[in-house]
Amino acid sequence: QKEVEQNSGPLSVPEGAIASLNCTYSDRGSQSFFWYRQYSGKSPELIMFIYSNGDKEDGRFTAQLNKASQYVSLLIRDSQPSDSATYLCAVNIISISGGYNKLIFGAGTRLAVHP
Amino acid sequence: GAGVSQTPSNKVTEKGKYVELRCDPISGHTALYWYRQSLGQGPEFLIYFQGTGAADDSGLPNDRFFAVRPEGSVSTLKIQRTERGDSAVYLCASSPNGGTGYGYTFGSGTRLTVV
């Protein structure tokens, strides 16, 4: 079982709609969760992070976390063609020896927003 | 520097050759990470440095891969006897310390092509 799983997509939504991106993770000890956006040919760019159960809103983006279900999601309201990109979910994994964390990424979901 | 700098941006090498990829992290960031991203996949963890030492090299695929960070700043990823399967984008990221706190800042990557 992969540590972080995402639907590869593509997820196609019309301009102005809500895009919903989902992610599940396997390590119950994970404490922090991140969403990165990656445009084609570019490096990942951090857009949201969330630590606590519930919702966290930042502009048009809302991250949702449910630790009991080991589930993270990202909602993008009023989707724009410029939101078309791959969205990567990343989860912190605590090292066996402790003392530091590293991020493990899912394969990403490709989002296409059409006019 | 202002951001994470990686050089070269592109590298084409022949199978069997040796390559070095360089990463210059954000000034003052003690934690440095190398990831590899193949087409259609998320970044795959390779190695993590805290200061000069490799705190976790569990992601290095085999002994052809080696990385150093002799002065706790610039890091070099070294690949010996390159194989076509090594072709990927190699991403470097840094953070202020070993925690994932607010996520990582990625460099623009080095696209390695082994022919």
- Residue range A29-50, pLDDT digits in tens: 888 999 999 999 999 999 999 9
Residue A105 pLDDT > 90, yes or no? yes
Give pLDDT, residue B97: 74
Give pLDDT, residue B90: 98
Contacts of A102 in chain B (CB under 8 A): 33, 45, 48, 56, 100
B14 exposure class (CB count in 10 Å sphere: 0-12, 13-18, 19+): exposed
B11 exposure class (CB count in 10 Å sphere: 0-12, 13-18, 19+): middle
Give pLDDT, residue A29: 85
Give pLDDT, residue B96: 85
Contacts of B105 in chain A (CB under 8 A): 46
Question: Which position has the token pair 């090292």?
Answer: A95
Cβ(A93)–Cβ(A32) below 8 Å: no
Average pLDDT rounded to a whole number, residues B62-78:
96
Give pLDDT, residue B2: 79
How close B45 gets to chain A, by Cα (Å)?
7
CB-CB under 8 Å, A45 with B103:
no
Give pLDDT, residue A2: 67
**Rounded percentage of chain B residues whose pLDDT exceeds 70:** 95
Residue A108 pLDDT > 70, yes or no? yes
Higher pLDDT, A93 or B113: B113
Helix residue ranges, H only, A20-102: none
pLDDT band at A96 (very low <50, low <70, confident <90, very high): low
Q: In this predicted model, what pLDDT tens digit does every residue of B16-56 receive, in sequence order?
A: 999 999 999 999 898 999 999 999 999 999 999 988 988 88
Give pLDDT, residue B63: 95
Give pLDDT, residue A30: 87
Among the partner-chain residues B56, B100, B109, the one whose CB lies closest to the CB of A43 is B109
> Within the 28-47 window of chain A, which residues sit less than 8 Å (CB to CB) from chain B?
32, 34, 36, 42-46
Closest-CA residue of B relative to A5 is B42
**A90 reaches B (C-beta below 8 A):** yes
pLDDT band at B101 (very low <50, low <70, confident <90, very high): low
Average pLDDT, chain A: 92
Give pLDDT, residue B78: 98
Say which residues have a Cβ less than 8 Å from residue B113's Cβ, sequence separation at least 6.
Answer: B10, B11, B12, B13, B87
Residue A65 pLDDT > 60, yes or no? yes
